[in-house]
Amino acid sequence: MFGISRDALWAFGVHILTASGAFFAFLSLVAAAEKDFTKSFLWMGIALAVDGVDGPLARKLEVKKWWPFWSGDMLDAVIDYVTYVMIPAFILYQSGLMGKNFSFLSAA
């Protein structure tokens, strides 16, 4: 298809899988903004599952061989930061567990 091998297409699919983590992180953030923390953690769990399989899958499908100039590592790092740092901090802030006087510390 379009001069791209099937293996290269499968390898690119791993980049799409990695990027889907941003979608699940966004859904987690929306749920947290709505104070639906159960749903927020559900979406975060799905993002965790995606994060757990995309790296091994990338190595198995030799993504760096097929797409050497497209760094999935950077994309993965940004999504991980949002999913495992920013969203939990926002959940902590939004939940009120820190109290009114200390809620600003949820960003620390």
**pTM of the predicted model, to two decimals?**
0.86
> Above 60 in pLDDT, residue 1?
no
For the chain, the distance separating the N- and C-terminal CA atoms, rounded to the nearest angstrom, is 49
* pLDDT tens digits for range 21-62: 999 999 999 999 999 999 999 999 999 999 999 999 999 999
Task: Show Cβ contacts of residue 11 under 8 Å, excluding neighbours closer than 6 positions.
Answer: 58, 61, 62, 63, 65, 66, 67
